[in-house]
Structure 1
Amino acid sequence: MYLDPSDENARLFFARGIEGPFTMLNLLRFRDWADYSAHPDLAPPEPIPGHLAYDRYVRHTLPYLAASGGSVEFFGVGGHPFVGPTDERWDLVMLIRQGGVADFLAFASNEGYLAGVGHRTAALADSRLIPLVDRPLP
């Protein structure tokens, strides 16, 4: 289960020296039922499925993303891979565009944004976030 970057992941991200815009590929797998045990202050009165907790996270997050200059470029249903392990699936796939690493860090460290990140934690069983940098076609 991977929900947050490790120190090594963060080191490797910064070591890339990304300059300018980049896109963050989000591969997300939901829990059947959201687990708000780490953030009981955000828990709804009745249990909800993981995908609904993630919807709460997205609604909370969009204003902070926009304020940092970021945008959602793709938001769609995933599934089992066409190429890859047959026991793997990603319920939701997103592409988030940021103007640069500084913009991303301003977004990710914003106190208002962080106040709602518990919805993401409650929603997800597993995730992958992969920074993508544009490359011209050969």
Structure 2
Amino acid sequence: MTRHLEPTQASAVAFMRREIAGEFVMLNLLRFRAVADYSAHPDLAPETPISGADAFDRYIAHTLPFLSASGGELLFVGEGGPFLVGPADERWDRVMLVRQASVRQFMDFAGNAAYLAGIGHRRAALEDSRLLPLVPL
């Protein structure tokens, strides 16, 4: 199974080539680990093991101030479940919609050193993910 946790160089180039003007929304599909894996970020690890969902909640708590400061906004967070239309064997535990003010502000947010200091919670939490930029018609 191929996991998708970070943008590839090719996907980042394709995103920039879209030349999105103005606001856009990021659709996040998230599949959590049963137990968060902090092996790559032991400095962020809690004293006792926690679930991937709990680790992601820590990531969100850390991230929201930086998202807001960049002009972004968490629009929706919801629990996933089985598809009505889609693969029966595919599962997404949580879905999020995040509005970004602009590509430039998103890139500034994503490169913010203080934000990146807590990204280990996201990496510990996720088994797999998808991130789809959406633009209004």
- How does the TM-score come out when normalised to structure 1? 0.97
What's the C-alpha RMSD, in Å, of the aligned pairs?
0.5
Instruction: Give ranges in structure 1 of 5+ residues lacking alignment.
Output: none
**Most deviating of 81-90 and 52-61:** 81-90
The 5 A counterparts of 1:68-83 are 68-83=70-85
State the identity as a percent.
61
Match of 1:2, SS state, is: coil
1:94 partner amino acid: M
Give the superposition deviation at 1:82.
1.1
Aligned pair count reads 135
Structure 1 runs, 4 residues or longer, greater than 2 Å off? none
1:71 partner amino acid: E
Q: Which residue of 2 aligns with 1:59?
A: 61
Q: Which residue of 2 aligns with 1:3?
A: 5
Aligned counterpart for 2:127 among listed residues 122, 125, 137:
125
Give the superposition deviation at 1:15.
1.1
Give the superposition deviation at 1:81.
1.3
1:113 partner amino acid: Y
Instruction: Give ranges in structure 2 of 5+ residues lacking alignment.
Output: none
Match of 1:125, SS state, is: strand
2:94 partner amino acid: L
2:136 partner amino acid: D
- How does the TM-score come out when normalised to structure 2? 0.97
The 5 A counterparts of 1:92-131 are 92-131=94-133
Give the superposition deviation at 1:77.
0.5
